[in-house]
Structure 1
């Protein structure tokens, strides 16, 4: 069944990203500060941002012979020069691929090679991994440049190489080009297999007041507070100091804010909304967060009413394709342009959408489908449980999958058969018979997750094979 938003259609800008970001429909003055380093206070005004991105684009073309369609990779945590490189590359007609700063050499090498990157901009603190990966990807050392102002091991800061007095007029995209031209090559997390390059078009939109984000594009005069790390203290201090209105984040950070009592010592009242994505956030965690901070959370996902089903979406904001992977693209996007998110979702009578799990993570047992997140939410309400993950164990004897839970326990509790049985009974009393944890409870020191908070169930299933043999 197809559901349409109750809100009126929005007007999609018929321009490329750079033209849209700098079009200034709200008459933002050039002296307005739009990017601020949350620690050092270093900043860029709107006018400086436009000037610096045009200089960066000119430097790419003049010094590195960077051409339209070439790919530049950024390997760095958040920092205030990130938007200059990001949008400057777009202004030069290039594509940007962003690599997770925690990647080791093998993962970075794969992304550089797969994306076809010819230039790499890297943060000094992770230069060693970048050097090895750039050699694997055959990117010359002269095209590996640094954020910051210090030369390290003959690798130079991008500002000393690329930035001079010349500026260029950014590459112009017609409306049709904006719809079809790739601007960004983001990579999937690889939780279910090989990581895939996700092609996003040059067409984009969005606006807010002041916000704390991972990798910002800039838009209608918003001031973005940029941090290289996301500890509870730095988040809360920034919110209090800069009166941040909106936050873009992931479930682990929400859980950290809930579980760290020090967060309640800060004034977070300026925040009117939090956008959480990357992985599903449980209802229990969302409610607990709201009860403490009185701040609403919207999850970054959007099938008849109250009936779970797989979510397919359609619109100009979905990705163009997976890079050089027609099989994966055809599996994800149908002939009518609907993108299969893989999320299991239900929608209520008011048009609110609720994500309950991932299709690949559903447990199929006794002719029913069991959503792991439902059982995980219940497990997290037990006094002894600090974290939990539910997966399916295929029982040859029963010829079906059995819901099985891995749990980590809080300080003050000891792993024991009695505690496992208590936790199992606690859950089984609250669910229908087919949802009971018939595979039992297993203790683990830490639930394996990726950087965005997704449970790495593949690793748990490998562990489960060995645990069930014991």
Structure 2
């Protein structure tokens, strides 16, 4: 069932700047675009566009030309939007950098991407400056948004009074952003996403996701991650919704901002869903404004989704994607509350999707009733990347000759065209020849009222054979033994899927995008 069941949408052949800001009406100019969740400071669409144009003009005056690469190391603050779009408006490419990176990691990305500038904030300056030095970027090209001696500031750029440059390029080939992803294997690589990739993915999500003009969208997921960049920043601004920013996740602050600013949409990753479903502090806040909780970045279990929906009295949906697809490829449409919440719904408009047998490469058979056998998910559409920067072999290993992006994720498909993500192909545990999906066991563990969080990885037993091992975080005040955990899972799975070993830990290590860092757990 390659073609999406959702009707195709028009994808304009324009730049990201034109797509987001080109259609602003006089009414829009005075409407609030961004609210700083901490301070409550507001930025209108008119002010934001003026900032974007001023930054573009200042950069052009300082020598930035079409195709230059500029690093952006910045938390979720309103200025991120101004700088990101200002760089694109100048014709340059943004490489977004993880705020948790070490100086060495920042430097590696700057060098690999060929960045000539970097924007950051003073709390992150030490790492940014060291990385810039290693990458050969001089101090005058290290912009510190809130100001630091020896470096230009955001104020310097905004007050330079330079007009935005006249830039012309083909949006289908001009690289807009270079986020870094490990893909299905290996070390992080620069993912070349064009203006058309980003514009297309926003257009594909407009009707399917369902955010409306004027609704308030909480932006806690990092903008440096493609999920936050496309689904929050660009998508919300294009729809003239209001972004409420949070620079980092803190549960109490998350709840306070949601309550005080009356946020309607919470875009989250599954770890936040666990907190919303189970943490007692949630009861202390008025979350009645929340209309939709939308999860992505990792699989969301249906029972957990239902628990969040029941507790908050809202709709819970999820989508699927990857950096290499800008990122969204599948979504549960807001208009389909009947669809199983543990699924990722339909392929987005203009998106083809297949599930193939990893061994044979043939499409799996979709039964008339129930789900197909698991296979690797493949997608094809206008949101699929141009390739990995400077890595043609790895690009060819990920996007085949027919343009299909091999996601490295296992999925099932049913006759209605609904997809379900089973697990990462590379994270499957091979127990005595049987394949065991960690996400399935994690979902069961989270059903236990005494378990706050959990992760499952493959570990070697005394014979060197791989077995499923669970790492478990208990709820405060709960006492639970390993045997009890093992028995709880054993009563709910096939014999080969049983958890064999349990280790209790204080916290499950996760990336800023909410993905479990299984490599860290395997190294314990």
Q: Under a length normalisation based on structure 1, what TM-score does the superposition of the two structures give?
A: 0.89
Tell me the equivalent position of 2:503.
Answer: 442
Does the CA contact (< 8 Å) of 1:34 and 1:221 recur in 2?
yes
Classify the secondary structure of the residue corresponding to 1:199: strand
The equivalent of 2:129 in structure 1 is: 131
1:262 aligns with 2:281: yes
Q: Secondary structure of 1:40's partner?
A: coil
Residues in 1 aligned to 2:246 and 2:458: alpha-carbon distance in whole angstroms:
38
Deviates more, 1:399-408 or 1:73-82: 399-408
CA contact (8 A) 2:61 2:162 kept: no
Q: CA deviation at 1:394?
A: 4.5
1:202 paired to 2:195: yes
| Kept after mapping to 2: 8 A contact 1:385/1:410 | yes
Q: For this pair of structures, how many residues does the alignment match? A: 451
Question: Aligned runs of 1:422-441 on 2, under 5 Å?
Answer: 422-437=484-499, 439-441=500-502
Cα 1:43–1:367 change in 2 (3 A) is: same
> What is the CA–CA distance in structure 1 between the aligned matches of 2:453 and 2:141, rounded to whole Å?
44
Please name the residue that 2:317 is paired with: 298
Of the three residues 155, 159, 166, the one matched with 2:155 is 159
SS at structure 1 position matched to 2:468: strand
* Contact kept? 1:53, 1:88, Cα under 8 Å: yes
Q: Distance in 1 between matches of 2:189 and 2:319?
A: 20
Displacement of 1:94: 0.3
Q: Is the 8 A contact 1:244 1:271 kept in 2?
A: yes
- 5 Å-filtered alignment, 1:313-324, equals 313-324=379-390
CA drift of 1:227 comes to 1.9
CA contact (8 A) 2:441 2:489 kept: yes
In the alignment, which of 243, 248, 267 is matched to residue 229 of structure 1?
248
- C-alpha contact 1:243 1:270 (8 A) present in aligned 2: yes
> 36-45 or 186-195: which moved more?
186-195
1:25 CA displacement: 7.0
Question: Over the residues paired in the alignment, what is the CA RMSD in angstroms?
Answer: 2.3
For residues 435 and 231 of structure 1, do their structure 2 counterparts lie closer, same or farther at Cα, with a shift above 3 Å needed?
same
The equivalent residue for 1:406 is: 471
5+ residue gaps, structure 1 = 464-470
User: 1:26 deviation in Å?
Assistant: 6.8
Q: Which runs of 4+ in 1 moved over 4 A?
A: 25-28, 189-192, 394-397
Q: Measured at CA, do residues 243 and 414 of structure 1 come closer, stay the same or move farther in structure 2, by a change above 3 Å?
A: closer
Q: Say whether the 8 Å CA contact 1:25–1:220 is kept in structure 2.
A: no
Describe the shift of the 1:448–1:431 C-alpha distance in structure 2 as closer, same or farther (beyond 3 A): same
1:9, distance to aligned residue in structure 2 (A)? 0.6
Q: TM-score, normalised by structure 2?
A: 0.80
Greater shift in the superposed pair: 381-390 or 47-56:
381-390
Q: Alignment partner for residue 70 of structure 1, among 43, 68, 71?
A: 68
Do the aligned partners of 2:438 and 2:455 also contact (CA within 8 Å) in 1? yes
1:310 aligned residue (376, 391, 405): 376
**Whole-Å Cα distance in 2 between the matches of residues 352 and 90 of structure 1?**
36
Tell me whether 1:79 sits opposite 2:77 in the alignment.
yes
Corresponding position of 1:287: 306
CA distance 1:461–1:229, shift in 2 (3 Å):
closer
1:47-105 Cα deviation digits (max 9, x unpaired): 22222211111100112x00100011111111111111111111110000111112121
Matched, 1:42 2:41: yes
Is 2:174 the partner of 1:181? yes
CA deviation vs aligned residue, 1:91-124 (integer Å, no higher than 9, x gap): 1100001111121211111111111111111111
Structure 2 CA distance for aligned equivalents of residues 97 and 291 of structure 1: 39
2:432 to 366, 371, 394: 366
1:260 Cα shift?
Answer: 2.8
Structure 2 residues not aligned, in runs of 5+: 224-232, 321-329, 331-354, 356-365
Contact 1:251 1:452 in 2 (8 A): no
In structure 2, the residue matched to 1:251 is 270
> Aligned to 2:188, what secondary structure does the other structure show?
coil
Partner of 2:106: 108
Quote how far apart the aligned CAs of 1:258 are.
Answer: 2.5
Distance (Å, rounded) in 2 between the aligned partners of 1:359 and 1:86: 34
Instruction: Pick the aligned partner of 1:211 from 188, 207, 217.
Output: 217
User: Structure 1 residues 318, 193: closer, same or farther in 2, change over 3 A?
Assistant: same
Report what 1:334 is aligned to: 400
